[in-house]
Structure 1
Amino acid sequence: MLEIINVNSIPVFLLILVRVVAFFATMPLFSYRTIPRPFKLGFSFFLAFLMFYTVNAPSIPVDEMYLLLIVKEALVGLFIGLIAYIILSAVQIAGGFIDFQMGFAIANVIDPQTGAQSPLTGQYFYIIALLFLLSVNGHHILIDGIVNSYQFIPIDAFIPFQNENIVTFVIDTFNKMFLIAFQIAIPIVGCLFLVDVALGIIARTVPQLNVFVVGLPLKILVSFVALLFFMSLYVVLVKNLFEILFATIRSLMQLFGGA
């Protein structure tokens, strides 16, 4: 009980709370608008309270360096959650590629979770990916990542921003995201490309046929049939996506820790 009310431990607890709150502000699933803010703050508080007894942090005085430590903790939490969100955004980018070929690009919908416009197919893929993440307890692994982040980034250490490997790592992460999006979209986009080729041949051989009237519903039908057979492959790609996600978070924490 004395440890709980110890005034010297309050600065350390606040630093832990800042990192956890910043992580939940950008992390997939927990950062969405559909989750009430009191739940986010309460969950962050109790998680930080549990983490306080597992982090072997020295006594930190409240001075001008303490303000810099607060900024550092906020950046660590934001970057870890943001890198996870960037990797999962590959699913929506792949859906955007598919919608552009299907003719659904003009029919974007408002995502109630983020408040931004989202492609129809991308939103469908994204919901399946989130359900798959929950089914394999991937959200537990994400929370475990922020808990274990203090093994790589001590609470009283600063981020070596002068390290050029961090910039290279972020660029490689963006490249990896677009590569994953292309891998997810290429089966459907490839089928639609073949449909375009067939429609072009028909337009040259049968000029009386209005290809623009026939082409749009035909491409939508082919897309739905291809999606039906593609779903099993999509689950495998999402599994690989999560493995890349967890490995990317670990590599980012190692870079922040100066490794």
Structure 2
Amino acid sequence: MTTYQLEQLVPSVLWTFFLVFCRLAAAIGFMPGFGDAYVNVRSRLVLAASISIAVTPVIQADYGIPAEPQNLFRMFALMFDEIFIGSFLGLMARVLLASLETGGAIIAMQTSLASAITFNPGQTSPETLPASLLSAMAVVVIFATGIDHVLIRSIVDSYAAFPAGALPPFADMSQAMVRLVSRGFLISVELAAPFLVVGTVFHVAQGLISKIMPQLQVFYIGLPLQVMGGLVLIGLTLPPLLYWFLAQYVDVLTSITQPG
């Protein structure tokens, strides 16, 4: 029986492309818009393969790709490393976008819209109306303003911080995820800050009115005003809130892929 060496079965050009594809496909599978539930899996794979073909020469020239391994164990180890790093990058982008959902939940509580549950097609789960609106509009603005190119560029730039073939820095990656989650909660509170201020003032006013006029049904009068005022405030603050969030989004993503 004729035997072949591994490098004969897997040409060097194909190996370089496949290693880049592992990281890109894993990242795109989790990234906002690209990895949402309504996007067909085959479409994601075709997109990842197309981008890999375009960026493989650049990555090979600027950062370098490990040579073909001499055994299958080394091959699978390199593939696992690239898939792990790509999944980490995609999850970072997804976790940061989830701060919009947390901020939307806070807004829903402050505007009495918490019971207005709607279906979020990106996550295939029910959410409050403000959270679903913010997350859906953020994805639309990401693609309308070209930030999706920044997401793809961050994957290419990640080879400077996470070289192909090197062991991933697990301690640094875990610390980065912890910092990102805390940053996400801070962004959520900052997004909902106008609603927290207005809601606090409104509830204090309701309490004062109920003390001054105990016979007045404050709840039945205040609830429609609270919902109407919340909708008006959402309409006024939605554009600046989204653009402010996307500026934070790009800043965090670009800082993650910087070496050091």
TM-score by length of structure 1 reads: 0.87
Partners of 1:237 and 1:126 in 2: CA distance: 14
Aligned to 1:168: 175
Aligned to 1:237: 244
Residue identity opposite 2:209 in structure 1 = I
Whether 1:136 aligns to 2:140 is no
* SS at 1:148 equivalent: helix
Aligned to 1:38: 42
Aligned to 2:25: 21
Partners of 2:169 and 2:148 in 1: CA distance: 28
Residue identity opposite 1:19 in structure 2 = R
Cα RMSD, aligned residues only = 2.0
Partners of 1:29 and 1:166 in 2: CA distance: 23
Residue identity opposite 1:97 in structure 2 = I
C-alpha distance 232-156 of structure 1, shift in aligned 2 (>3 A)? closer
Aligned to 1:59: 67
- Listed as ranges, the gaps of 5+ residues in structure 1 are none
* Alpha-carbon contact 2:111-2:226 (below 8 Å) kept: yes
Partners of 1:178 and 1:122 in 2: CA distance: 14
Aligned to 1:193: 200
1:235, distance to aligned residue in structure 2 (A): 4.0
Partners of 1:234 and 1:121 in 2: CA distance: 12
The correspondence for 2:134, drawn from 99, 108, 125, is 125
Residue identity opposite 2:135 in structure 1 = Y
Partners of 1:184 and 1:8 in 2: CA distance: 49
The correspondence for 2:216, drawn from 197, 209, 222, is 209
Residue identity opposite 1:126 in structure 2 = S
C-alpha distance 113-124 of structure 1, shift in aligned 2 (>3 A)? same
Q: How many residues align?
A: 247
Aligned to 1:104: 113
Mean CA deviation greater in 148-157 or 37-46: 148-157
Partners of 1:183 and 1:83 in 2: CA distance: 19
Partners of 1:115 and 1:235 in 2: CA distance: 22
* Alpha-carbon contact 1:191-1:222 (below 8 Å) kept: no
The correspondence for 1:249, drawn from 247, 250, 256, is 256
1:9, distance to aligned residue in structure 2 (A): 3.3
* Alpha-carbon contact 1:32-1:113 (below 8 Å) kept: yes
Residue identity opposite 1:127 in structure 2 = A
Residue identity opposite 2:220 in structure 1 = V
Mean CA deviation greater in 5-14 or 149-158: 5-14
* Alpha-carbon contact 1:87-1:241 (below 8 Å) kept: no
1:229, distance to aligned residue in structure 2 (A): 2.9
Partners of 2:123 and 2:196 in 1: CA distance: 26
1:102, distance to aligned residue in structure 2 (A): 1.8
1:6, distance to aligned residue in structure 2 (A): 6.8
Aligned to 1:91: 100
Partners of 1:157 and 1:60 in 2: CA distance: 14
Map Cα deviations across residues 163-214 of structure 1 (whole Å, 9 max, x no partner).
Answer: 3x43332221111111111011010121111111111111111111112222
Residue identity opposite 2:11 in structure 1 = V
Mean CA deviation greater in 239-248 or 170-179: 239-248
* SS at 2:108 equivalent: helix
Partners of 2:242 and 2:179 in 1: CA distance: 24
Mean CA deviation greater in 17-26 or 211-220: 211-220
- Listed as ranges, the gaps of 5+ residues in structure 2 are 1-8
